[in-house]
Chains A and B, each alone.
Chain A
């Protein structure tokens, strides 16, 4: 018993130390900073004040940024789940010998960094970009449509970044679901959509939750995509945090923003887990 306890401790120690050193300690430090006072010219003044948090919750600009971040992240999550589920189900159920190639095709976009991918979208979305050129060439539009520097561009960009994660997460869960109950449902008179809705989806709930949470967290913290595709007037939380810390050198307020972002993300994730766990007894 004691020996087993010791060896477990030995196995867990490296990861624990790494997490404490690289995550917990900086977070504690950042939280401490968020309680400091910012005096322009003097950088950061030691204090214990809630002023930075009060500033966030009383300034409509920052609340609007949080609002944008939330609804963009939720929309991205819904789009990724809706678009990713059929693909994941196909990957999980296919008997083709090209399955590993198909999975590779899903993973392939991850080989390209977010910033590079966003740069690619800039080429596609611009006034004289690929999309406008094609639509114009086909005679479908006469004046170029505005995609670049719109919310639509940001949503498309983040969906493209997150979709592989969602598909892979869903696929691994769907692999473990026995297809026989679906056949039972069909034989009992359920049409394919009813079968999916009543039999496949309820069994896939833990996977949908995991994929959704992953996607939501990634979207809430998206940085490169909103900066590059959203342009200067479109603001999400992560770029604003970076701006406060890097441009304004306002570490206390940047710290407060970070903790608000983290708290909101964690709260919604926990709430989703609770609601789903209660509803589906998973």
Chain B
């Protein structure tokens, strides 16, 4: 296993910029998630690391090795695809053995290493099956074993859970994370699913329009998003336009909120729906009318129009049985205010 370094890596298609000067350091044993909507450049970035797309400029290093101009077959990366990409004409055993055979590993070692790789993903009994005789979850675990058996320097996961249904997705997600942590795999994963990214990543790289918007731990991204895009993409958010004052924020409609920290020169205030409390008893109180109620299970989402004109989504964890038109009092804790400059 190894580190991965991207230095000002860009990809241009004619005039169109797919990826713009991405810098990234992935530490040994770290799981970094590239997160963003489709077309944000995350898949292009992953494919440049794998070697399927040539970078227009910049340097890609795996460990100390500059692989920028290496073809994929010399990079020693393990790749897992959204659609599994197993060899349909080969048995599970031969699928997993494929990379070892290319490395001219002795037959006895192949048998031993394939068996232990399949054991690792709990598929030891299915070695002689063909891919089409297996479920999606099993196929993706074979793909994982196939990628890991070659002892790659880095594991690349391209939307590995997107083709699985909800229950399997949970299983495979846990499986990938367990293997990644126990084997200390340096891993880069691409996903558009923020929940997947939050639960699996040591660090998240949020991308949009070919640019890295923010890099940080799931907690850092959630609590201190760098801009409105990140705040909107990671979790549910309320955005209120206005301006920062010395002690807090005043919205366009004139609602004054006090903060316990400096909001800088923020022009937008971000409030997480679950950080807003129902009831009175703080410095930032407001009252309003419930416009809509959506039951989410663990919480109920209330759409509240404040009397001052501002609009907020609020997540209430106790089921208070509210309905449209109810009057409601809200309190925003001073610590919950997040200022965004754009």
Residues of A within 8 A of B (CB): 178, 180-181, 183-192, 194, 198-199, 202-203, 280-281
Are A194 and B102 also in contact (CB < 8 A) when A183-B72, A187-B79, A199-B87 are? yes
Known interface pairs A184-B81, A190-B73; 5 further A-B residue pairs with C-beta atoms within 8 A, sorted by A's residue number: A178-B83, A184-B143, A185-B98, A187-B78, A189-B74
Question: Using Cβ atoms and an 8 Å threshold, which residues of chain A touch B102?
Answer: 188-190, 194
A203-B86 Cα distance, complex, nearest whole Å: 12
Do B98 and A183 touch (CB < 8 A)?
A: no
Q: Are B88 and A203 in contact (CB under 8 A)?
A: yes
In contact, A191 and B73 (Cβ under 8 angstroms): yes
Q: Which of chain B's residues 80-115 have a Cβ closer than 8 Å to chain A?
A: 81, 83, 85-89, 98-99, 102-103
- On chain B, the residues within 8 Å of A191 by CB distance are 73
**Does any Cβ of A come within 8 Å of B290's Cβ?**
no
Whether the Cβ atoms of B73 and A184 lie closer than 8 Å is: no
Question: Is there contact, CB below 8 Å, between B83 and A186?
Answer: no
Residue among A181, A187, A189, A280 making CB contact with B87, cutoff 8 Å = A181
What residues make up the interface of B, taking CB atoms closer than 8 Å to A?
50-52, 71-79, 81, 83, 85-89, 98-99, 102-103, 143, 146-147, 150, 156
Q: Which of B52, B75, B103 contacts A183 (CB 8 A)?
A: B52
The answer to whether B85 and A189 touch across the interface, beta carbons within 8 angstroms, is no
Q: Which residues of A contact B71 (CB under 8 A)?
A: 186
Would you list 25 pairs from A and B whose C-beta atoms are within 8 A, ordered by A residue? A180-B83, A181-B87, A183-B79, A183-B85, A185-B87, A185-B98, A186-B51, A186-B71, A186-B73, A187-B72, A187-B73, A187-B147, A187-B156, A188-B73, A188-B102, A188-B150, A190-B73, A190-B98, A190-B102, A191-B73, A192-B73, A194-B102, A198-B98, A202-B89, A203-B89
Residues A189 and B150 in contact, CB atoms below 8 Å apart? yes
In the bound assembly, the distance between CA atoms of A185 and B89 in angstroms comes to 13
Chain B residues lying within 8 Å of A187, measured Cβ to Cβ, are: 50-51, 72-73, 75, 77-79, 147, 156
Beta-carbon nearest neighbor of A184 in chain B? B85
Bound CA span A192–B77, Å: 16
Residues of B within 8 A of A188 (CB): 73, 98-99, 102, 146-147, 150
Structural contact, A178 and B73, CB atoms closer than 8 A: no
Quick one: which of A187, A194, A199, A281 has the most chain B CB within 10 A?
Answer: A187
Residue in chain A with minimal CB distance to B150: A188
Q: Which residues of B have CB within 8 Å of A186?
A: 51-52, 71-73
Contacts of A189 in B (CB 8 A): 73-74, 76, 99, 102-103, 150
- Given known contacts A189-B73, A189-B103, A202-B89, A184 and B150 CB-to-CB distance under 8 angstroms: no
Residue of B nearest to A280 (CB): B89
- State A137–B239 Cα separation when bound (angstroms): 79
* B150 with A181: CB separation less than 8 A: no
Q: How far is the CA of A185 from the CA of B102 in the complex (A)?
A: 9
How far is it, in angstroms, between the C-alpha of A79 and the C-alpha of B167 when the chains are bound? 51
Given the known interface contacts A189-B102, A190-B98, the answer about A184 and B146 at a Cβ–Cβ threshold of 8 Å is yes
Q: How many angstroms from the CA of A99 to the CA of B183 in the assembled complex?
A: 46
Considering the chains assembled together, what is the distance between the CA atoms of A15 and B76 in angstroms? 57
Q: In the complex the two chains form, what is the Cα distance from A189 to B146 in whole Å?
A: 12
Give bound CA distance, A194 to B72, whole Å: 13
Give Cα A191–Cα B51 distance, bound, in whole angstroms. 13
Given contacts A189-B150, A199-B87, contact A184 B103 (CB under 8 A): no
From residue A156, how far is it (CB to closest CB) to chain B in Å? 35
B79 A184 Cβ-Cβ under 8 A: yes
Shortest distance from the beta carbon of A168 to any chain B beta carbon, whole Å = 24
Are the C-beta atoms of B98 and A178 separated by less than 8 Å?
A: no
Distance between A195 CB and nearest chain B CB, rounded to angstroms: 8
How long is the Cα–Cα vector from A180 to B146 in the complex, in angstroms?
Answer: 14
- CB A273 to nearest CB in B, in angstroms, measures 17
Note all chain A residues with C-beta closer than 8 A to B78: 187
Which chain A positions have C-beta within 8 A of B50? Answer: 183, 187
Contact residues in A for B147 (Cβ distance below 8 Å): 187-188
Closest-CB distance, B187 to chain A (whole angstroms): 14
Q: State the Cβ distance, B103 to closest chain A Cβ, in Å.
A: 6
When distances are taken between beta carbons in the complex, the residues of chain A under 8 Å from B52 are 183, 186
What distance in Å separates the Cβ of B135 from its nearest Cβ neighbour in chain A?
18
- Compute how far the CA of A61 lies from the CA of B147 in the bound complex, rounded to whole angstroms: 61
Contacts of A185 in B (CB 8 A): 87, 98
- The residue on B at minimum CB distance from A187 is B79
Task: Evaluate whether A181 and B88 lie within 8 angstroms (CB atoms) in the complex, with A187-B50, A189-B102, A189-B150 already known.
Answer: yes
Considering the complex of A and B, which 7 residue pairs feature the smallest CB-CB distances, nearest first?
A188-B99, A180-B85, A189-B102, A187-B79, A186-B72, A184-B85, A202-B89
Check A180 against B89 for contact (C-beta < 8 Å): no
CB A191 to nearest CB in B, in angstroms, measures 6
Q: How far is the CA of A203 from the CA of B98 in the complex (A)?
A: 16
